[in-house]
């Protein structure tokens, strides 16, 4: 089954308006030759609108780094799906391990966010991943299965067309440690099987499953060469235009 590759730059809590516009402009220019893959940027919400003017017409998709389930209301500090759309975004990330670990978001909250974003028509990226401790104690697959089951509760088969999963092993994020192609492939295959069990084989076959965790220009090719790795969710290396442009130009 062929799946259109998706390369995402998650800028996390980096960039002022000026820095974000420069970075987005450089990425736009450096990726203008590519038509066979999707490119997505997730800048901080404070710069989404400005960045949307920079990438307008390029095909680059903009995403929020998180999203609230409600369209509006008394949710201090939160950003709604409608606000993301109003600022020029069409997508959102949920369940990032930094949200789970630092801000204690659990599977139930990730599920609410995911359902809210999907209901509003956003393209959603659901992050899952095990910690080093969980991996070492042999719990990797159990943790991932539970994260997936919990987050996908109530998500309809039709909505799955607007969903991608990102496998981000917590021990590989920002550490310089990367899962090997084989290690990541084993998990991606498992995740696809889980989606097939929760929904059906055809939905699993179309689902894009991205890898994230210290993706760099020098390891992206071997990761993306794996049959079940359909793209990358990039943190640190996405803040350097040349690195991100090289990653997007991966050679599988």
Site residues, ligand 13P (CB under 6 A):
10, 96, 168, 173-174, 212-215, 233-237
Rounded to an integer, what distance in angstroms lies between the CA atom of residue 80 and that of residue 106?
A: 19
Q: Of the listed 98, 130, 168, 188, which one is catalytic?
A: 168
96 belongs to the catalytic site: yes
Q: How far is the CB of 98 from ligand 13P (least distance, A)?
A: 7
What is the dihedral sign for C-alpha 13, 184, 104, 40? positive
Phi and psi at 226, nearest 5°, equal: -70, 140
Q: Which is nearer to ligand 13P, 68 or 237 (CB)?
A: 237
E strands within 159-213?
163-167, 208-212
Q: Which is nearer to ligand 13P, 69 or 167 (CB)?
A: 167
E strands within the chain?
6-10, 38-42, 61-64, 91-94, 123-128, 163-167, 208-212, 231-234
Q: How far is the CB of 249 from ligand 13P (least distance, A)?
A: 17
Q: How far is the CB of 243 from ligand 13P (least distance, A)?
A: 10
For tokens 């109003």, name the residue. Answer: 86
Give whole-number Cα distances, 11 to 34, 62, 186, in Å: 21, 11, 27
Q: How far is the CB of 211 from ligand 13P (least distance, A)?
A: 10
DSSP β-ladder status, 6-10 and 61-64: unpaired
Q: How far is the CB of 171 from ligand 13P (least distance, A)?
A: 10
Token pair recorded at residue 26: 């450089």
Q: Which is nearer to ligand 13P, 193 or 221 (CB)?
A: 221
Residues 106, 100: contact at Cβ < 8 Å? yes
Q: Of the listed 96, 98, 105, 134, which one is catalytic?
A: 96
Buried b or exposed e, range 230-242, using 16+ CB within 10 angstroms: bbbbbbbbbbebe
Q: Which is nearer to ligand 13P, 121 or 174 (CB)?
A: 174
Token pair recorded at residue 25: 């402009």
Q: Which is nearer to ligand 13P, 203 or 208 (CB)?
A: 208
Residues designated catalytic:
96, 168
């Amino acid at each position: 089954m062929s799946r259109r590759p998706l390369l995402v730059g998650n800028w996390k809590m980096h960039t002022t308006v000026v820095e974000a516009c420069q970075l987005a402009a450089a990425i736009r220019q450096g990726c203008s030759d590519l038509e066979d893959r999707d490119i997505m940027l997730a800048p901080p919400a404070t710069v989404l609108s400005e960045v949307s003017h920079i990438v307008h017409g390029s095909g680059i998709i903009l995403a929020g780094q998180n999203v609230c389930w409600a369209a509006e209301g008394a949710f201090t500090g939160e950003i709604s799906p409608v606000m993301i759309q109003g600022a020029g975004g069409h997508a959102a990330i949920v369940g990032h391990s930094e949200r789970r670990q630092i801000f204690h978001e659990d599977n139930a909250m990730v599920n609410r966010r995911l359902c809210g974003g999907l209901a509003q028509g956003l393209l959603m990226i659901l992050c899952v991943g095990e910690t080093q401790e969980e991996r070492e104690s042999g719990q990797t697959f159990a943790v991932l299965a539970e994260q997936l089951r919990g987050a996908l509760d109530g998500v309809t088969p039709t909505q799955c067309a607007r969903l991608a999963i990102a496998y981000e092993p917590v021990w590989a994020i920002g550490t310089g440690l990367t899962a090997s192609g084989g290690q990541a492939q084993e998990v991606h295959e498992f995740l696809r099987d889980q989606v097939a069990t929760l929904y059906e084989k055809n939905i699993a076959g179309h689902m894009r499953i991205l890898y994230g965790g210290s993706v760099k220009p020098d390891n992206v090719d071997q990761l993306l060469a794996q049959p079940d790795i359909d793209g990358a969710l990039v943190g640190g290396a996405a803040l350097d235009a040349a690195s991100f442009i090289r990653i997007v130009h991966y050679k599988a």
